[in-house]
A and B are shown apart, each in its own frame.
Chain A
Amino acid sequence: MSTELEEYPAADLAPTEPVDPVALVGFVAEFADVDSVLTAATKVRAAGYKVWDVHSPFPIHGIDEVIGIRPTILPWLVLCGGLTGTSCAVLMEWWMNAYDYPFLISGKPIFSFPANIPIVFELTVLFSALTAVFGMLGLNRLPLHYNPLFKSRRFRRVTSDRFFVVIDASDRLFDETKTPNFLESLGAISVERVED
């Protein structure tokens, strides 16, 4: 383990300023592979914890069912975004070319759908894609540029090769001594206390 600790400069290790009073964020349990984190997650859920999460370097296949994550409403937001794009495009084309400044080109109709569909399609896709990205970020409450979990040096491996179960201090069943013991009993490599 000592080699791992040396990977991070000393300046990062020390808390920046002593903050008073120290708020307990929760406990972070580290796991080495997908199997052990899935087993642990199943047990955490069975124990009745509600405010907890699994953090992993990639989406774990089947984790939603284990934690009980409900399907996101994002697709409905994207549908609304897409319909907004469609309406905006139709209205814009009609208003600009047929109402505000109608002009006749080669005897073609002032407004007709076939000639206007390409832009309707493009704006539908554009609005939907923007909704998908910003909707996802909004629902995930990102960007989040300060997160006390990253005070744990070990937790920084969550974006590389380690898996974590985090039980939040605000959980009803949370206990400063029982919770870490419980996490250790699940086969965690390490259990760390994270304070803000």
Chain B
Amino acid sequence: MDTTLLTSPAALEGLFAEARAQAAVIAATHDADNTSDDPRVRMPLVVGGKDFTSLTETIASVAEHPVPLGWYIGMAISLSLLGVLGLCVNYLILTGVGVWGNNQPVGWGFGIVNFVFWVGIGHAGTLISAILFLFRQNWRTGINRFAEAMTIFAVVCAGMFPGIHVGRAWMAYYMFPIPNQMQMWPNFRSPLIWDVFAVGTYATVSLLFWYVGMVPDLATFRDRSKGKIRQFIYGIFALGWNGSSRHWHRYERAYLLLAALATPLVLSVHSVVSFDFATAQLPGWHATIFPPYFVAGAIFGGFAMVLCLAIPAREFFGLKDIITKRHLDNMGKILLATGMMVGYSYLTEAFIAWYGGNPTEQFTFRNRAFGPYAWAYWTMMWCNVIAPQFLWSSKLRKNLAVLFIVAMFANIGMWFERFVIIVTTLTRDFLPSSWHSFTPTWVDLGTLAGSFGLFFTLFLLFCRFLPMVAMAEVKSVMPQAHAHGSHGLADAHRSDYRPDEHTNPDYDAPRGGGTLTSP
């Protein structure tokens, strides 16, 4: 680089102007590559020359126009799997948990593997909507809505498993603190009851967060409705939202409070799930690393699921300018970072087993890697530790096919992680005389496949009928959302929605099409 640039203000200004011009071209190009980390300029988060009008149009048209054929095909597959779930669950309830592969000593089996897997998936949605909100990651606005939807649907799938796993599903109300015929209360010192409260609170708060975030967008759908029925239904759920500044003020405050509440909540949920294992005395479970290890794994698995949904969704529903390459790139980086945390946890766990000197614990870890379920262990290691390493390369990370495949591996790997934890420990604990292997039955496999049917049915319905992207939030991080004139706003102390180009007040992207400026 020419060193005169650093001494001449005019040349320096020219250097910045050049970067701004490049950013302006990117902002105006469809499906542009906005992954650059050029420190001179903030990359636009919405590309394709979108203004407020065309942004609303793009997102609302998904729910207003006939859906593509692919949606019907996806729905047909999902509904078939949902049917399989209905069949398996009914067969289970009418017959008993004996139809599963669970045995003595493997009392938990697929029911709990699936529960932990689905609860974990949900965590990425809350991370995006709450933790990234507190960290002022403006790019979250493009993906938070459907990541939150994913959270709700994953928790629905998760919540089903403990309910049917208790065997007599009609007795599931024993878990709740309500008077029953035995005149006994739940034992609040049990981690399983903590789980009921943690997952119940998580489901409620996630639903509230999702719905509150959606109210302004439901109002957009209401105001664009052509038919009376449509207007009435969206109108009911939009609660009469009219964009009043006083309403927005309280709304933003409520949103910030919800984010601040959901952040410790999401960390607590998988910590409590891990207590189910860590408070037991079984080798391989009784470890203090479990809460952070489970939380990192949950976020890793959840981000993998977000990527697996986002990459096809932006393609099918024409959202490439809103869920941009930068969003996917950022998610790839988070996948890599959390994958490293998971790998670190595996190593620490194994090291402590050796260093702790407990022979049973040492045996359990040898048995995991080289015993009868070594194939599951090495599948997990490959998927969760090795596969994400490809994402170090920015070229591979920007290749959507590679990103999708790595995310798929992570999904598979995280299911196997829970399988390894539960099955290897339970099949071979302290006494060889009580060892017994575990083989899933067709009902186990059908219920697992069916839970994906439930998840995708809900997700496809959401794509069809609800705003897939948080329109109001995306608009608030577009350059047009910020006053450029000198209004003398004392905004330095404001905590919410800090403008993305805050550090470059003179950044001026194109102001969009004619609809905005012509009277």
Evaluate whether A61 and B494 lie within 8 angstroms (CB atoms) in the complex, with A34-B482, A133-B258, A140-B250 already known: yes
Asked whether A125 lies within 8 Å of B201 as measured between CB atoms, the reply is yes
User: Count of B residues near A, CB < 8 Å?
Assistant: 83
Asked whether A74 lies within 8 Å of B188 as measured between CB atoms, the reply is no
Specify which of A39, A55, A147 lies most central, judged by the most chain B CB atoms within 10 Å of its CB: A55
Evaluate whether A132 and B258 lie within 8 angstroms (CB atoms) in the complex, with A156-B223, A158-B242 already known: yes
Is B247 part of the binding interface, using a Cβ–Cβ cutoff of 8 Å?
yes
Closest chain B residue, CB of each to CB of A158: B243
Asked whether B254 lies within 8 Å of A133 as measured between CB atoms, the reply is yes
Evaluate whether A53 and B246 lie within 8 angstroms (CB atoms) in the complex, with A35-B483, A143-B239, A159-B241 already known: yes
Closest chain B residue, CB of each to CB of A109: B189
Is B484 part of the binding interface, using a Cβ–Cβ cutoff of 8 Å?
yes
Which of these binds chain A: B81-89, B354-362, B429-437, B468-476?
B468-476
B248 proximity list for chain A (CB < 8 A): 56, 58-60, 63
Asked whether B245 lies within 8 Å of A101 as measured between CB atoms, the reply is no
Closest chain A residue, CB of each to CB of B185: A96
Asked whether A125 lies within 8 Å of B261 as measured between CB atoms, the reply is yes
Contact of B52 among A53, A55, A130, A161 (CB under 8 A): A161
Closest chain A residue, CB of each to CB of B472: A58
Interface of A is mostly: helix
- Interface flags, A128-152, vs B, CB<8A=1, else 0: 1110110111011011111101100
A103 proximity list for chain B (CB < 8 A): 187
Is A93 part of the binding interface, using a Cβ–Cβ cutoff of 8 Å?
yes
CB distance from A98 to the nearest CB of B (A): 10
| A/B interface sample: 26 pairs, CB < 8 A | A9-B226, A42-B487, A57-B220, A57-B471, A59-B252, A61-B491, A61-B494, A66-B489, A69-B249, A72-B249, A72-B253, A92-B177, A96-B186, A101-B184, A115-B189, A119-B193, A119-B194, A122-B194, A129-B209, A136-B254, A142-B240, A142-B247, A143-B240, A144-B240, A160-B220, A161-B51
- A-side residues, CB < 8 A to B, are 9, 11, 32-35, 38-39, 42, 53-67, 69, 71-72, 74-75, 78, 92-93, 96-97, 100-101, 103, 105, 108, 115-116, 118-119, 121-123, 125-126, 128-130, 132-133, 135-137, 139-140, 142-147, 149-150, 156-161, 164, 189
